[in-house]
Amino acid sequence: MSNSSDGNVPDQELSAEQKFIDGLYEHVDALRGDVEGSVQEALGPVGNNYQARLERDVRVTERSGLLAALSAVDGSLCFGRIDLAGGGGHHIGRIGLREEHPDETGERAPILIDWRAPVARPFYLATGHEPMGLRRRRHISTRGREVTALHDEILDLSDEERTGHEDHTGDAVLLASLNAARTGRMGDIVRTIQADQDRIIRAPHRGVLVVEGGPGTGKTAVALHRAAYLLYEHRELLARRAVLIVGPNPAFLGYIGQVLPSLGETGVLLSSPGELYPGVRATGRDTPRAAAVKGRVEMAEVLAAVLADRQALPDPVIAIEHDREILMLDDDLARVARDRTREARIPHNAAREYFEGHILNTLTDMHAERIGTDPYDGDSLLDPDDITQIRDELAANPEVWTAIDQLWPRLTPQRLVADFLAEPTHLCEEDAAAIRRAGGPWTPADVPLLDEAAELLGEDDRVARASAERERSEKIAYAQGVLDVSYASRTYEFEDKEDDDSEVLGAHDVIDAERMAERHDEDDHRSAAERAAADRTWAFGHIIVDEAQELSPMMWRLLMRRCPTRSMTLVGDPAQTADEAGVGSWDAILAPYVEKRWKHTRLGVNYRTPAEIMELAADVVRAERPGFEPPRSVRSTGVRPLVRSAGRDSLAGAVASVVAELAPAEGRLAVIAPRGLHGELGRALPGSHGGVLPDLTQPVVLLDPRGAKGLEFDAVVVVEPGAFGTSDLYVALTRATQALGVVHTGSLPRGLTATPAPTSAP
């Protein structure tokens, strides 16, 4: 921050901004209590009117989001100001706030402009060459509720007014943010959104937008802020349908979990691929080969064939005893019933009702012919009522249902997939051996198989419908009892009066038992995101996928079912594709669903990784792909990566030594090592935290490259780089914002060995 020669000018500017911030938080403190009450009010009953339900969803989403944002404010609610060339200006913040009372025009004047509002856009896009009607842009830095610094950019060069807080480079706030110590939780970037990022964030929500970028280019931050922008711009639609954000793993979801609430948005469902099937949390691990086999698009045909095998035929005949007769259900008769049922093209469980009907009709005709045919002329002696009675009696015969269960069983997705994995069919022996598994937890690669099975099976909802009808009848009976008590009480109240006040209405006069029961069914106060999490068939308003290049073709089938409108934002970097099941090509991902109807944009500036670290990481990739060009780093630290050799017996000690050298005074350090070394390294690093769901707020965290995807740390120590594939190693080397160390016992991978002798960090 520069100062003017007049020492009082900066003080005046700071004092003015401090006064504004103080008033802003007085307003926020008063507003918080009002919003809490309005959320409860918005959750009240709305009847069964669709528009009323929609309006309630919007109110609840807006107010819950505002309450979350107000609860999360930490003094950085306001981060900027734009001064207009014609006079006046606006303060810019994470959420929009207005005066409590309207002015003479009936409007409530804005106090703070939401960063997503059109009027705020020049804050991100204006330049000296294109000032967009601004004369000055101000960045306001705060600690708690105290204003600590101002950074002004002059956009109208003809304006001679100076404040003493001019930032002549325009980069001070951005660089301060990049150099700040990490906390283990991702923060928003609303103060530092760059022009290329802003254009992506505000792109139209219809269609598929692919955002490609290398490590540190802000892909994830852009995707999250795009979600916040879309929820702001299309509130009514997305409050009803919700936004789904898919991240690579649960640790990543924990890392980004506070970004959207801090921006006032709660209508979002965050999920890893292993959590996309309601009721299943996939905690198992597949071998890379097994995940690749399960992820092939051909698995959809395999599961269809597996299901077709379960629609069996008698071998060679099923004998059913009925009314002292033996009815023989043979292959030909069952085949006719099966073929006619398949012709309906209805999912398996829903189609069972048709199959049952065909079998019962077949057995009815067979039995009627035996007992009701005139032995002399062959005519039937049975009338339609007799035929109906025979069919009803057969429908009550347990042996008939045993036969139907054998030929067309009711199946759950879990049962079908578990049976298939225990004994894989319709695969070559090598693929079958790779995925064969009897029992054990579900894996992320199983989730799209379960979803595919659910599509093939559908639901036989007759039992559910009958249960719902019984429950409804019970509720109506209960409601009628309540009304009867109300009526009896009212009658007793007036029976001793000479003049019965017949115009006083009782409950039974304004509502009947059926309507009263329906009102009890309307008290589902879950948000759209909460309802979506429990509903496999939910259609989201928009889907954002991070690390999209890693998902398998089968997982893409699942996601496309979740978004019939194909309104999606896909974020990733094909150079970081590490999963054998990953598609890794945008065209291969999207062509089966939208052909060429998708847009592609690229982020080419690396804000996270210093140039010294990026150069080393790029050399590793170039050893395999000579033409590789990494994103351009915006900063240099002057610190070369530390590369240290160790004996196998002293590996843990060497890692501990490098950790001690690189550990920041504040911030976070990650040790990225093969999972098999985590136990040994954990014992050598007291206080470190690892596991399936590590606590990223701890000073030292143990991860493998897959678990580190999407994360960033002040310092990183990569252990045994030769154990990683090129993509995994590239990911591991590019997680650091300040310092990188490499510890190895064997030979280094190509690219690392070509690096000149490194120096250690100070």
Q: CA end-to-end span of the chain, whole Å?
A: 27
156 in Cβ contact with 85 (< 8 Å): yes
Q: What pLDDT is attached to residue 419?
A: 97
Both tokens of 301, joined, read 């045909």
Place 382 in a pLDDT band, splitting at 50, 70 and 90. confident
667 sits in the region (left: phi over 0; alpha: psi -120 to 50; else beta) called left
708 in Cβ contact with 736 (< 8 Å): no
Burial of 41 (0-12, 13-18, 19+ CB in 10 A): exposed
Residues 6+ apart with CB under 8 A from 415: none
Q: What pLDDT is attached to residue 285?
A: 92
- 3-state DSSP assignment of residue 197: helix
pLDDT tens digits, residue range 689-717? 998 789 999 999 999 999 999 999 999 99
Q: What pLDDT is attached to residue 40?
A: 58
Mean pLDDT of 220-248: 92
Q: What pLDDT is attached to residue 471?
A: 67
Place 497 in a pLDDT band, splitting at 50, 70 and 90. low
Query: How far is residue 652's CA from residue 680's CA, in Å, rounded to a whole number?
Result: 7
pLDDT exceeds cutoff 90 at 490: no
Place 564 in a pLDDT band, splitting at 50, 70 and 90. very high
Mean pLDDT of 112-139: 94
Nearest partner of 699 among 657, 736, 732, 669, judged by Cα:
669
Residues 6+ apart with CB under 8 A from 728: 578, 705, 706
CB atoms within 10 A of CB 402: 12
Average pLDDT of the chain, as a whole number: 86
Mean pLDDT of 253-265: 88
Both tokens of 367, joined, read 């039995």
Q: What pLDDT is attached to residue 61?
A: 63
pLDDT exceeds cutoff 90 at 121: yes
Q: What pLDDT is attached to residue 1?
A: 39
Q: What pLDDT is attached to residue 762?
A: 38
Q: Which of 1-5, 115-119, 461-465, 722-726 has the lowest mean pLDDT?
A: 1-5
Q: Which amino acid is at 449?
A: L
Q: What pLDDT is attached to residue 504?
A: 47
CB atoms within 10 A of CB 117: 14
593 in Cβ contact with 560 (< 8 Å): yes
Query: How far is residue 146's CA from residue 21's CA, in Å, rounded to a whole number?
Result: 8
Residue with the bigger pLDDT between 721 and 29: it is 721
264 in Cβ contact with 65 (< 8 Å): yes
83 in Cβ contact with 136 (< 8 Å): yes
Q: What pLDDT is attached to residue 64?
A: 65
Bridge partners (DSSP) of residue 743 are 644, 719
Burial of 110 (0-12, 13-18, 19+ CB in 10 A): middle
Residue with the bigger pLDDT between 293 and 508: it is 293
Bridge partners (DSSP) of residue 92 are 80, 113
Q: Which of 111-120, 166-175, 281-290 has the lowest mean pLDDT?
A: 166-175
Bond into 721 cis (ω within 30): no
* Residues recorded for the chain: 762
Query: How far is residue 646's CA from residue 652's CA, in Å, rounded to a whole number?
Result: 9
Residue with the bigger pLDDT between 336 and 174: it is 336
DSSP letters for 292-345: HHHHSTTHHHHHHHHHHHHS---SSEEEEEETTEEEEEEHHHHHHHHHHHHHT-
Q: Which of 51-55, 424-428, 573-577, 730-734 has the lowest mean pLDDT?
A: 51-55
Place 523 in a pLDDT band, splitting at 50, 70 and 90. low
Place 760 in a pLDDT band, splitting at 50, 70 and 90. very low
41 sits in the region (left: phi over 0; alpha: psi -120 to 50; else beta) called alpha
442 in Cβ contact with 284 (< 8 Å): yes
Residue percentage of the chain with pLDDT more than 70: 83
277 in Cβ contact with 451 (< 8 Å): yes
Q: What pLDDT is attached to residue 4?
A: 41
Q: What pLDDT is attached to residue 49?
A: 57
pLDDT exceeds cutoff 60 at 732: yes
Q: Which amino acid is at 6?
A: D
Angle between helices 413-422 and 299-310 (to 10 degrees): 100
Both tokens of 91, joined, read 């303060």
Q: Which strands form 736-744's sheet, in the order they lie side by side?
A: 642-645, 736-744, 713-719, 669-672, 700-703
Nearest partner of 569 among 548, 595, 596, 543, judged by Cα:
543
Query: How far is residue 87's CA from residue 15's CA, in Å, rounded to a whole number?
Result: 20
pLDDT tens digits, residue range 574-616? 888 877 878 778 999 999 999 999 999 999 999 999 999 999 9
Bridge partners (DSSP) of residue 669 are 700, 715
- 3-state DSSP assignment of residue 94: coil
pLDDT tens digits, residue range 624-681? 999 999 999 999 999 899 999 999 889 999 999 999 999 999 999 999 999 999 999 9
* Helices (H), ranges, 106-249: 122-125, 172-179, 195-201, 219-233, 235-241
Burial of 101 (0-12, 13-18, 19+ CB in 10 A): exposed
Residue with the bigger pLDDT between 376 and 287: it is 287
CB atoms within 10 A of CB 197: 24
Query: How far is residue 317's CA from residue 617's CA, in Å, rounded to a whole number?
Result: 67
Place 507 in a pLDDT band, splitting at 50, 70 and 90. very low
Residues 6+ apart with CB under 8 A from 328: 317, 318, 319, 320
Place 267 in a pLDDT band, splitting at 50, 70 and 90. confident
Q: What pLDDT is attached to residue 515?
A: 57
How far apart, in Å, are the Cα atoms of 722 and each of 317, 411, 574, 760?
A: 62, 46, 21, 21
Q: What pLDDT is attached to residue 65?
A: 64
Place 2 in a pLDDT band, splitting at 50, 70 and 90. very low
pTM score of the predicted model: 0.84
